Amino acid sequence: MSDGNPPSSQPHKSLIERIGHFLSGEPQDQEDLLEILRESQEKHLLDSDALAMMEGVMHVAEMRVRDIMIPRSQMVVVPRDAELETIFPLVVEFAHSRFPVIEEDRSKVVGVLLAKDLLAHALRDKTLKVEDVMRPVNVVPESKRLNVLLKEFRTERNHMAIVVDEYGNAAGLVTIEDVLEQIVGKIEDEHDDDEVQEFISQRSEKEFIVSALTPIEEFNDYFSATLEDDEYDTLGGLIVQRLEHFPKKGEKVELEDFCFEVLRADNRRVHLLKLKIK
């Protein structure tokens, strides 16, 4: 006869139930929560990829558009008054699906040209201009949080936004892929070239965003620096060596005349750094 207690052989707990068990310790801050998730991975309740994505989600909630945007100087743009047939070489060369449309210069983005619209309209009338087929531009401030932007991308069915500064001028652009890569890692497609990577992006005269995968030799060439590359090939490896642990977001390291701040990292490696020149 049953005594009302559950049988000794119960189905295995779901992943959510097991994580909930570890969360019952009521973490006091995000670092506590991350520590619990890492312990869950060590106990094989999470695999390393799932842990990395969870950490990515938490980092995205803290990061802002300015941290990942493609700077204005690197945008591939098309002029508003260009005839469609004249821009085919550029579209074929870069193979992007969307191109910012500018009026006078890169600071004035007035629309977005979709490659599929270009093909559809140019086949019918090559004398049309970009302004005849461009779509409205989605604008976001540099300070917008990435998790908020991702939600807007999904609800408004947008894939790209132009980032504007406090004066309303275009400062760069950001895509839904850029945001998702902060969670799942680099998303390669058939147009990506493994041999080409933008390691260093200039934000102002003395501030840069730098990939942790930047070869130290390339960094030294770019900044006329003399960082040691005897033991490590990349900046990320050098940062970890100096700190003697895997860095957390916000940690800083000073090397020569450079101050590095960790923008994104997980329990496996450093991903992104902010650089300020003293």
- Structure confidence by residue, pLDDT tens digits, 180-239: 887 776 655 544 444 335 688 887 888 898 988 888 999 999 999 999 877 777 898 888
Reply yes or no on domain 68-179 having CATH 3.10.580.10: yes
Quick count: other Cβ atoms within 10 Å of Cβ 118? Answer: 21
Angle of helix 30-42 relative to helix 48-60, nearest 10 degrees, comes to: 170
User: Which amino acid is residue 61, in one-letter code?
Assistant: A
Q: How many helices (H) and strands (E) does the chain have?
A: 11, 12
- Dist. CA 243–CA 237, nearest whole Å: 10
- Dist. CA 205–CA 146, nearest whole Å: 25
Show contacts of 127-131: CB within 8 Å, 24+ apart: 127/83, 127/84, 127/85, 128/83, 128/84, 129/80, 129/81, 129/82, 129/83, 129/84, 130/78, 130/79, 130/80, 130/81, 130/82, 130/83, 130/84, 130/87, 130/101, 131/80, 131/81, 131/101
- Structure confidence by residue, pLDDT tens digits, 4-42: 544 444 444 556 655 655 555 565 666 777 777 777 777
User: For the CA atoms of the chain, what is the radius of gyration?
Assistant: 23
Quick one: what percent of the chain has pLDDT higher than 70? 82
On the question of a common fold for 68-179 and 196-277, the answer reads no
Residue 139: the pLDDT is: 94
Parallel, antiparallel or unpaired: strands 139-141 and 160-164: parallel
- Dist. CA 205–CA 276, nearest whole Å: 9
Domain ranges of the chain: 68-179, 196-277
Report the run of H or E that residue 258 belongs to, with start and end: strand 258-265
- Dist. CA 158–CA 115, nearest whole Å: 15
CA 157 to chain centre: 19
User: Which amino acid is residue 208, in one-letter code?
Assistant: F
Backbone angles phi, psi at 230, to 5 degrees: -70, -45
Residues sharing a CB contact under 8 Å with residue 263, sequence separation 6 or more, in sequence order: 63, 67, 209, 249, 271, 272, 273, 274
Q: In this model, does residue 268 exceed pLDDT 80?
A: no
Q: What's the DSSP call for residue 43?
A: T
Q: What average pLDDT score do residues 143-152 get?
A: 91
What is the model's pTM? 0.56
Least reliable range by pLDDT among 100-114, 182-196, 248-262:
182-196
The listed CATH number (3.30.465.10, 3.40.1280.10, 2.60.40.1840, 3.40.50.1370) that belongs to domain 196-277: 3.30.465.10
Residue 82: the pLDDT is: 92
Quick count: other Cβ atoms within 10 Å of Cβ 278? Answer: 8
Query: DSSP states of 209-253 as a string?
Result: EEETT-BHHHHHHHHT-----SS-SBHHHHHHHHHTS---TT-EE
Q: What is the mean pLDDT of the chain?
A: 80
Virtual CA dihedral for 256, 258, 261, 264, nearest 10 degrees?
-100
